């Protein structure tokens, strides 16, 4: 006979929102969790994701709704007032929508190495549980991916979630497609379930956070006449910061011979050039990288013939300190 599982709230579903960017595996993590809940734990569950442009680096939200077996889930709307939020990339903390709707007794898990707590998290409920997991660091050590670590972290926070069964589902997911990854994912999952920090005194908000329901900037009564677009969108307004997953190129100008090979291979034109010294050897010199546009593919590092560009671990604030803006007049 299967064990009866008691969910935390008898009067409503347990809802989880995974906040991520394309390529970090939030959709797969939500799918594994819901599959384990339905097929192995005897719960009812629903899982779906919303994507932006469906490309690596764009915003992804994955939603999981769990309930007792006897209560059908007929709601397929996005999770607006979650019991748990898991943030796959610390850059997403800059957006208030990432925190929106968290319940006052909710759990907030985010991926970041130990260090200063971002000031944005003061907007969390005072009574919420805040967990920090160095998911990227653990994933790199275990040759796994952050989603396995964060799934372990999430599972480990709630007694009704059976970590053994979720781990079985995770292993089964990979056994068919990538059998070589099963053992490393298992290690990453187990470390996520135990290797985390509980942060105290982070949030200052009282009560549940309001849900985010973005309104269009203009309606039919307020939009400018004549088809004018006062704020045209273009690539200069893009911010690909959240596409980097822990590594970034760093330039040592002493070693640079300004050959431009890095610029030839960069898919996002994020290398900043300036005039060389008057009468000097180079007419144009590489000044640095505009990390606002850098997605961390590291092709520039691979192509650099002198080792002037190196692959470095991205620590908090490093990109902001080293950034050489391409459009200093346009973007602060």
CA dist., res. 79 & res. 16, Å (int): 7
Nearer to ligand SF4 among residue 129 and residue 323 (C-beta): 323
Nearer to ligand SF4 among residue 193 and residue 326 (C-beta): 326
Nearer to ligand SF4 among residue 67 and residue 249 (C-beta): 249
The mark string for 75-104 relative to ligand SF4 (x by CB under 6 A, - otherwise) is ------------------------------
Nearest of 88, 181, 190, 191 to residue 143 by alpha carbon = 181
Nearer to ligand SF4 among residue 160 and residue 327 (C-beta): 327
CA dist., res. 88 & res. 131, Å (int): 12
The mark string for 126-155 relative to ligand SF4 (x by CB under 6 A, - otherwise) is ------------------------------
Residue 40 beta carbon to ligand SF4: minimum distance, rounded to whole angstroms: 41
The mark string for 300-319 relative to ligand SF4 (x by CB under 6 A, - otherwise) is x--xx-x-xx----------
DSSP 138-202: HHHHHT--HHHHHHHHHHHH-TTS-HHHHHHHHHHHHHHH-GGGHHHHHHHHHHHHHS-EEEPS-
Q: Is 294 in the site for ligand SF4 (CB under 6 A)?
A: yes
Nearest of 52, 78, 87, 62 to residue 238 by alpha carbon = 52
Residue 270 beta carbon to ligand SF4: minimum distance, rounded to whole angstroms: 5
Which segment (72-80, 110-118, 209-217, 299-307) binds ligand SF4 by CB under 6 A? Answer: 299-307
Among 45, 246, 249, 288, binds ligand SF4 (CB under 6 A): 249
Among 289, 292, 319, 323, binds ligand SF4 (CB under 6 A): 289
Q: Write down the residue that tokens 């299967």 correspond to.
A: 2
Do 142 and 164 meet the contact criterion of CB atoms below 8 Å apart? Answer: no
CA dist., res. 138 & res. 231, Å (int): 42
**Of 256-275, which residues contact ligand SF4 (CB under 6 A)?**
256-262, 265-266, 268, 270-271
Name the pairing type of β-strands 14-21 and 84-87: parallel
Of all helices (H) and strands (E), which one includes residue 31? helix 26-39
* Per-residue DSSP letter, 107: E
Helix axes 135-142, 182-194, angle to 10 degrees: 150
Residue 308 beta carbon to ligand SF4: minimum distance, rounded to whole angstroms: 4
Q: For binding to ligand SF4 (CB under 6 A), which residues are involved? A: 249, 251, 256-262, 265-266, 268, 270-271, 286, 289, 294-300, 303-304, 306, 308-309
């Amino acid at each position: 006979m299967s064990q009866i599982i008691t969910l935390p709230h008898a009067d409503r579903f347990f809802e989880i929102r995974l906040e991520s960017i394309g390529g970090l595996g939030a959709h797969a993590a939500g799918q594994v969790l819901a599959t384990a809940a339905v097929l192995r734990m005897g719960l009812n569950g629903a899982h779906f994701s919303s994507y932006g442009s469906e490309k690596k680096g764009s915003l992804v939200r994955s939603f999981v709704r769990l309930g007792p077996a006897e209560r059908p889930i007929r709601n397929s709307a996005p999770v607006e007032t979650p019991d748990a939020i898991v943030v796959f990339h610390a850059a997403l903390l800059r957006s208030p929508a990432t925190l929106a709707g968290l319940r006052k007794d909710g759990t907030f898990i985010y991926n970041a190495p130990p260090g200063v707590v971002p000031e944005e998290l003061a907007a969390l409920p005072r009574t919420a549980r805040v967990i920090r997991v160095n998911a990227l660091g653990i994933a790199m050590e275990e040759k796994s991916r952050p989603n396995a670590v964060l799934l372990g972290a999430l599972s480990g926070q709630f007694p009704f979630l059976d970590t053994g069964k979720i781990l079985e589902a995770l292993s089964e997911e990979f056994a068919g497609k990538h059998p070589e990854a099963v053992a490393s994912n298992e290690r990453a999952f187990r470390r996520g379930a135990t290797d985390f920090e509980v942060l105290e005194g982070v949030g200052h908000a009282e009560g549940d956070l309001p849900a985010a329901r973005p309104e269009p900037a203009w309606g039919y009564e307020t939009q400018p006449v004549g088809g004018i677009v006062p704020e045209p969108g273009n690539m200069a307004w893009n911010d690909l910061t959240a596409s980097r997953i822990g590594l970034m190129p760093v330039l040592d100008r002493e070693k640079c011979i300004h050959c431009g090979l890095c610029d030839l291979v960069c898919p996002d034109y994020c290398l900043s050039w300036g005039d060389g010294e008057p009468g000097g050897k180079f007419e144009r010199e590489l000044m640095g990288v505009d990390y606002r546009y850098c997605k961390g593919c590291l092709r520039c590092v691979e192509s650099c013939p002198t080792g002037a560009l190196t692959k470095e671990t991205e620590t908090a604030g490093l990109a902001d300190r080293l950034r050489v803006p391409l459009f200093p007049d346009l973007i602060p």
